[in-house]
Chains A and B, each alone.
Chain A
Amino acid sequence: MTDTRRITYREAVREALREAMTRDERVFLMGEDVGAYGGAYACSLGLLQEFGEERIRNTPLCESGFVGAGIGAAMGGMRPIVEIMTINFALLALDQIVNTAATIRHMSGGQLSVPLVIRMATGAGRQLAAQHSHSLEGWFAHVPGIRVVAPATITDARGMLWTALEDPDPVVIMEHATLYNEEGDIAAEGDLAVDIDRAAVLRSGDDATIITYSANVKKALAAADQLSGEGIECEVIDLRTLRPLDDATIMTSITRTHRAVVVDEGWRTGSFAAEVSSCIQEQAFFELDAPVERVCSVEVPIPYARHLEEAAIPQPAGIAAAVRKVLRR
């Protein structure tokens, strides 16, 4: 076993940024307050001193402007990393992302590509209320032409950025805001880049498959621990990449467990969970021993009050209940 070291998710992101800046001089970071302030979640803290204002660039509060600038830079040969403070604000850049970044390769007949990486914080759980807490990953995953990844682990937070930068097309990295303080072990040294194609089975079990991503991976694992005490062994799949979806890993698991619970912090209606659920019934209908269950957020703007916020989003108890339901217990 190789040596490991323990770091936070935030440090993993920062290390990844530092590595990218060091390995490829075309890489630069831009976003709101990423400079001296270190970004809203302090991911780039200290990088300004290390790499200078040319490569760690503060932007005006204008998402459409700086995402558009990122697209232009990428088309011009740079490898920009654009940080958007939260996914809610990414809506202001949706035109640039959906109408430009995702389409240029196609509209130029393959002559142009947009090797852009956009990082954004997502999700609820930090009492930031309805305009900073939503989970709209599914909206981005809807769009052909971009890749959407959601690192749930320290390893992925550390390793996905470099792989994303190597992708010739736009990649959106969804970083759940409750993960930044999480700690975990990663390899002490070596190439830490990871693939951004495959889902990962984080826990094996034969009774039911819990499919989720991002911060809900931790909740799914907690539910699986609880259920294990009841004699129910769950397989937990971290999707990692929401687009393109790694169906094979999902279906392989369901072929064994015959029961699926999809956990998604998005609202149920039109959710990414709905897409996963639909794929399952299209590809593994005859393996199913129960209707696919979804555990999603309550269909309200995410509340500010802590107890209401907790009640609005998926929690381990609700995930466990859904698993019992698919097991008809």
Chain B
Amino acid sequence: MIEFQMPSLGADMDTGTLVEWYKKPGDLLKRGDVIALVETQKGAIEIEVFNDGRLGDIMVNPGQKVPVGAVLATITEPGDARAAALPPEQRAPSSLVETPPASVAVPRIPREPPLPSPPSTQLLEPTSPSASGVRAKVTPAARVRADAAGLDLAVISPGPDGVIGLREVEGARTVRSTPRKSGLDLGEMRKAIAAAMARSHREIPHYWVSQTIDTTALFDWLEAANSKRPVASRLLYAAPLIKAVGLALKETPELNGHYVDDVFKPSNSVHLGIATALRGGGLVAPALHDVDVLDLDVIMAALADLIPRVRAGRLRSSELTDATATFSNLGEGTSESLMPLIYPPQVAIIGCGAAALRPWVVDGAIVAHRLLTVTIAGDHRVSDARRASQFLSRLDRLLQTPEAL
């Protein structure tokens, strides 16, 4: 028996609203299946399952807003029919809890103070307000009404006065009975960004290292390569740049991974979060998986797929949790460089200004070359500027031979 929980889809996520179940109780599940749609501050996220099994009881109905870690449904694994028959209190101590998809690739992001539990599989933790020691102010009538409606008080947001009354219960019921159209709330997203960046600025001892890289070779190669391609499959310079960043990160593991519970866990894979601006404001950095081994056409196709989905607010859960470092590119503008903040629990972010013609010294003469200033922010708890400098040097060399990417 696995308890399928509301995943944390980033350091800035506290709650999610279940929008839709794609599976019914009893349906067979395969690892990787998208089983539900959850609305977060980053839009509607398709939640994947990371085990084979059969969907058991659905605990959260469409429209309910629940905290990260709340059990959404149970999944029975082959052969645990006996466990499923036990009452929950007997089941809980032995049941492993999965926080998908963090259980596979990414440790669960700790709240403050960090949870002492091991990151991948852990015993069930109480998430209701009462269990955490803070007694919610719930009016007697609200308790009775919520109980009658089968609503868990732990998932009902109190009013501005901190009270859960009939109004709040009715509100939760209404939400449940009329599923909202999913979409992005940019105000909420801005709050989420602010929370994540405030935490980053507060907790991560940042350093920044910049290097200006001559991209003449890259753009010359790109022009030649694109001239042979149909318009639809032409490459943008972001594709080789992302690939080169991926390769350079692979060689500097101190910049690629997660810092959780005072421990750095380097990642064997390079999943690069692509910071993507939204029209009207807002920013999401979904992961492109395994960028170090993808070929450029696949990266290009992945970008073409990802960006519209980001802007429509429809991402998959793994894309929001798996990134091992982030790439932020201001290439469309005229800014020379940026000094980005790391997105916790990652330990590095790479920012690129616009690639523009600027003075460059070649063989003792000043000539106009297309230059790109790359700045990496690193986490002093894990690495120092020297490693970041090695990363940038490696990136520079990789970009001088774009045909090899």
Contacts and interface: CB of A to CB of B under 8 A. Distances in A.
A328 B159 contact: yes
A288 interface: yes
A288 B140 CA distance: 6
Interface residues of B, number: 12
Nearest to B167: A328
A258 B159 CA distance: 17
A194 to B, nearest CB: 33
B161 interface: yes
B174 interface: no
A290 B161 CA distance: 12
A285 interface: yes
Interface string A288-304: 11100000000000000
B167 A258 contact: no
A270 B289 CA distance: 71
A306 to B, nearest CB: 37
A265 to B, nearest CB: 28
A289 B143 contact: no
B163 A286 contact: no
Contacts, number: 27
Interface in B156-190: 159, 161, 163, 165-167
Contacts of B139: 258, 288-290
Q: Interface centre among A287, A289, A290, by most B CB within 10 Å?
A: A289
Contacts of A258: 139, 141, 166
B142 interface: yes
B345 to A, nearest CB: 39
A289 B161 contact: no
Range for the number of chain A residues in contact with chain B: under 10
- Secondary structure of the B side of the interface? helix
Interface in B122-153: 139-144
A258 B145 CA distance: 11
B169 to A, nearest CB: 9
A287 B144 CA distance: 8
Nearest to B161: A328
B165 A286 contact: no
A173 to B, nearest CB: 36
A294 B38 CA distance: 45
A254 to B, nearest CB: 9
A289 B159 contact: no
Contacts of A287: 140-141, 144
Contact of B144 (A286, A290, A328): A286
Contacts of B140: 285-289
A328 B141 contact: no
B143 A290 contact: no
B163 A328 contact: yes
B157 to A, nearest CB: 14
A287 B167 CA distance: 14
Q: Interface centre among B139, B141, B163, B165, by most A CB within 10 Å?
A: B141
A260 to B, nearest CB: 11
A258 B142 CA distance: 10
Given A328-B159, A328-B161, A286 B167 contact: no
Nearest to B159: A328
Contacts of A288: 139-141
Interface string B359-380: 0000000000000000000000
The 9 closest A-B pairs by CB, nearest first: A289-B141, A289-B139, A258-B141, A286-B140, A289-B166, A289-B165, A288-B140, A286-B144, A285-B140
23 contacts: A258-B139, A258-B141, A258-B166, A286-B140, A286-B141, A286-B144, A287-B140, A287-B141, A287-B144, A288-B139, A288-B140, A289-B139, A289-B140, A289-B141, A289-B142, A289-B165, A289-B166, A290-B139, A290-B165, A328-B159, A328-B161, A328-B163, A328-B165
Given A289-B142, A328-B159, A328-B163, 15 more contacts: A258-B166, A285-B140, A286-B140, A286-B141, A287-B140, A288-B139, A288-B141, A289-B140, A289-B141, A289-B165, A289-B166, A290-B139, A290-B165, A328-B165, A328-B167
